[in-house]
Amino acid sequence: MEKDRYRFFVAAEDQAAAGRASQALADTLRELDPVLDVERQKADAATMDLGTIVNVIATSGATLAIAQGVAGWLRARKGASITIEVDGSAGSVKAVVAGVDAEAAVRIAEIIRS
């Protein structure tokens, strides 16, 4: 079974908000069927927080489900922005998504995958 790796960098108006948003994103993505593993990572090893980077390992057909999960997460967090890195078998892709509606986020994720 092929696996894709996604990395989400979450930014918000302050570090506490970014931490809460990262946890919510990790929880949202963890509930999706094609997602195999989700973990948070620190952007700065010197900090005490759990980190604002969310690493996801999913089956190779998981892009649409993940895009819908991210869209739902964005709907609830108008002030958050997210940078998405995809490391699939075809290579790496990076996109920054901020201040867009949920439908646009889904379209962006579909474009990234294709």
Can you give the pLDDT at residue 95? 63
Contacts with 72 (C-beta within 8 Å, 6 or more apart), sequence order = 28, 102
Can you give the pLDDT at residue 28? 94
Can you give the pLDDT at residue 55? 93
Can you give the pLDDT at residue 65? 85
Can you give the pLDDT at residue 97? 64
The architecture CATH gives domain 3-113: 2-Layer Sandwich (3.30)
User: Which parts of the chain register pLDDT below 70?
Assistant: 1, 47, 88-114
CA-CA distance, 112 to 100, in Å (whole number)? 16
Q: Where are the domains of the chain?
A: 3-113
Can you give the pLDDT at residue 53? 92
Cα separations in angstroms, 107 against 6, 33, 58, 70: 17, 20, 19, 11
Can you give the pLDDT at residue 44? 72
CA-CA distance, 111 to 103, in Å (whole number)? 13
Can you give the pLDDT at residue 81? 79
